[in-house]
Chains A and B, each alone.
Chain A
Amino acid sequence: MCDTCGCSTEGGAVLRKPGQSDYHLHVNEHEHAHGEHHSHEHGDHHHEGSGRKVLLEQDVLQKNNLLAERNRGYFEARGIFALNFLSSPGSGKTSLLEKIIPALKQRFPVAVIEGDQQTTNDADRIQALGVPVIQINTGSGCHLDALMVNRAMKELEMQDNSLLCIENVGNLVCPALFDLGEALKVVIISVTEGDDKPLKYPTIFHEADICILNKIDLLPYVEFDAAKCRENAMRVNHHLEWFELSAKTGEGLAAWQEWLEATMAQH
């Protein structure tokens, strides 16, 4: 057990469906048994120098990356366009989905995977929009990984050529490292956070394809320099597509929606 953040070594994630209280499925993170080798409790008599060096040169995240590629292959084969939404807790990921899905589902089928440590609250909010949704509860885990998404997508009734929105666990640190097989990463930041956020969490902004500045309806009430925030984000990643909008009032939403529809069409 890591007491920095509390990622769990046991337990693992659970899938849930809104309105189906009897449905839950465990995602086993570590299926390997520790085998039959006896534990070495015989002191510190290391035989220095007697060891043999074995080269691995293997990516630490290789297992996740390989599974993410399998997810990606599955999505591509079915024409599914997957977006991975990342932000701090409360930046407005679920609100944005709630706002945009009713319009998008007129154009193409939409499905949602919700990631949260606990509760199906967000999945319930999406369920109300009438699109297929599944909840991944990561427990003490602070990010989604490719295995969780692999299990979840098999449980979700997705149509071919649909848009799949994956809402990651609210966290700007480790979700950046775990590829899920998505086509694009969307990072959301809101004007109630600092405009230096891209500099504080550069990895996630560097990995992202799209950055959405949300809650611009609150700009008159907060000290937040949108231009500076954008500049900071661009310093970290000059390829970022940048949008400013309010999931509450709908201001700026059309530009993002048009961009998304155009990208879907090319896909």
Chain B
Amino acid sequence: MHEMSIALSIVEAVEERARQEGAGWISEVELLVGKLAGIEPESLQFCFSAAAAGTLAARARLAIEEPEGVGECGECGTTFPVNFYYAECPACRSLRVKILTGEEFLIQSMTIEEEEE
């Protein structure tokens, strides 16, 4: 899948910001990857360590939070959990569902450390 090119862009983004902040290295990166975002967290973890090698993020822990999908019915307004794009409103069976959350794909934050030694 596409997780490698995505891991590279994450590393690039956090490294750039870490430099601006004058960081020695990055100890943690927090991501928000919604359940509907189309990203495999495990595969992303795997690619991240490869992508981060030799960068300020080489020793960073990747913490991934996975918000659940929530949909809102376009007919009756009911909100309900969705775990796939083909959700159906449990109240009125409508398929006109608007996704409220679950599509997030964000770099939330990172933790930076002073230069050691």
Contact = CB atoms under 8 A, between A and B. Distances in A.
Contact size class for B?
Answer: 35 or more
A203 B6 CA distance: 16
A1 B107 contact: no
Contacts of B107: 56-60
B28 to A, nearest CB: 7
Given A55-B108, A60-B31, A173 B2 contact: yes
Contacts, number: 149
B84 A47 contact: no
B13 A202 contact: no
B105 A59 contact: yes
Contacts of A51: 27-28, 111-113
A9 B85 contact: no
| Chain A facing B: main interface SS | loop
A145 interface: yes
Contacts of B84: 199, 202
B39 to A, nearest CB: 8
Interface string A192-235: 00000011001101100000000000000000000000001011
Contacts of B12: 30, 32, 63
B17 A42 contact: no
B106 A176 contact: no
A154 interface: no
Contacts of B108: 55-57
B38 A203 contact: yes
A4 B1 contact: yes
A40 B2 contact: no
B47 to A, nearest CB: 5
Given A50-B114, A60-B6, A142 B86 contact: no
Interface string A25-66: 000011010110101101001110011111111111111100
| Chain B facing A: main interface SS | mixed
A50 to B, nearest CB: 6
Interface string B62-99: 00000000000000000000001110100000011000
Contacts of B15: 32
B100 interface: no
Contact of B14 (A9, A42, A56): A56
Most chain A CB within a 10 A radius of its CB, from B38, B47, B88, B116: B38
Given A54-B109, A56-B107, A9 B58 contact: no
Given A39-B58, A40-B25, A141-B5, A173 B109 contact: no
Contact of B9 (A2, A8, A60, A237): A60
Contacts of B25: 40
Contacts of A37: 56
10 contacts: A7-B1, A34-B55, A35-B19, A37-B56, A56-B109, A60-B107, A61-B9, A145-B5, A203-B36, A206-B85
Given A234-B95, A235-B86, 16 more contacts: A1-B50, A4-B3, A5-B4, A7-B3, A39-B58, A50-B113, A52-B113, A54-B17, A55-B109, A56-B108, A60-B31, A61-B9, A142-B2, A174-B1, A205-B85, A206-B85
